[in-house]
Amino acid sequence: MIDSEPKKAAKAPFYTALTAGLSLVLIYWFGSPVSLGYDFHEDRCLPDVHLSLLVHHAPFEIHDGDMLIFSKQKGILDYVVQEFILKVVAGVPGDHLTISKGEVQINGKTVVRGFPLAEPFYHHPGQYFEKDEVIPAGKVFMIGTHRLSDDSRYWGYLDTSTVRGSGYKIF
């Protein structure tokens, strides 16, 4: 038994190197499961989030307040050059959404006020975006916390099939 100890010790570096090598190949092949997100713009859609950990795996469940990363849908945020977009979930399927008189309410709670991008960016008055409905299955209502955030109050619901992962505030 004493002779087997040196053999085990000699194999340990080999298995460590093999595991590290396979891990690198898998990360290269399938992409890193995590990354860091940094918004360098002075006016960010989430002004209280400077650096975030992005987990590139779609969550099993989506809840109000979750930060999600998603890929752009056709016709939504086309001007954004980044691969992924990070916003906060304000409403999930089954929630009651009311957009009226410059306020967005989910289940009677105001989540955002105003439509500063309505006319200069979308060329419509704020009343154009008004609605009173239940958020449908497979959709979520996303917001940014900056008053100039381009979010679901303008472009509607986000299809959950475009969700690519979750974000977590670091600072």
Query: Domain ranges in the chain?
Result: 1-31, 34-169
SS3 at position 67 = strand
Note the pLDDT of residue 10. 65
Residue 6: the pLDDT is 61
Instruction: Give the fold, CATH level 3, of 34-169.
Output: Umud Fragment, subunit A (2.10.109)
Predicted local confidence at residue 47, as pLDDT: 66
Task: From first to last of the 171 residues of the chain, give the pLDDT tens digit.
Answer: 555 566 666 677 888 888 887 777 766 666 778 877 776 655 566 667 778 888 888 999 999 999 999 987 777 788 888 778 899 999 999 999 999 999 999 999 999 999 999 999 999 999 999 999 999 999 999 998 888 889 999 999 999 999 999 998 888
Of 1, 147, 167, nearest to 85 (Cα)? 167
pLDDT value, residue 74: 75
User: How far is residue 158's CA from residue 61's CA, in Å, rounded to a whole number?
Assistant: 15
pLDDT at res. 146: 84
CB 124 within 8 A of CB 130: no
Per-residue confidence (pLDDT) for residue 51, from 0 to 100:
81
Say what the pLDDT of residue 124 is: 93
What is the pLDDT at residue 42? Answer: 58
Give the number of other CB atoms < 10 A from CB of residue 133.
10
The predicted pLDDT at position 15 comes to: 81
* pLDDT score, position 76: 79
Which pLDDT score is estimated for 45?
A: 65
Sheet with 158-159: strands ordered across: 34-38, 51-55, 163-169, 67-70, 85-91, 139-143, 158-159
> CA-to-CA distance for 141 and 93, rounded, in angstroms?
9
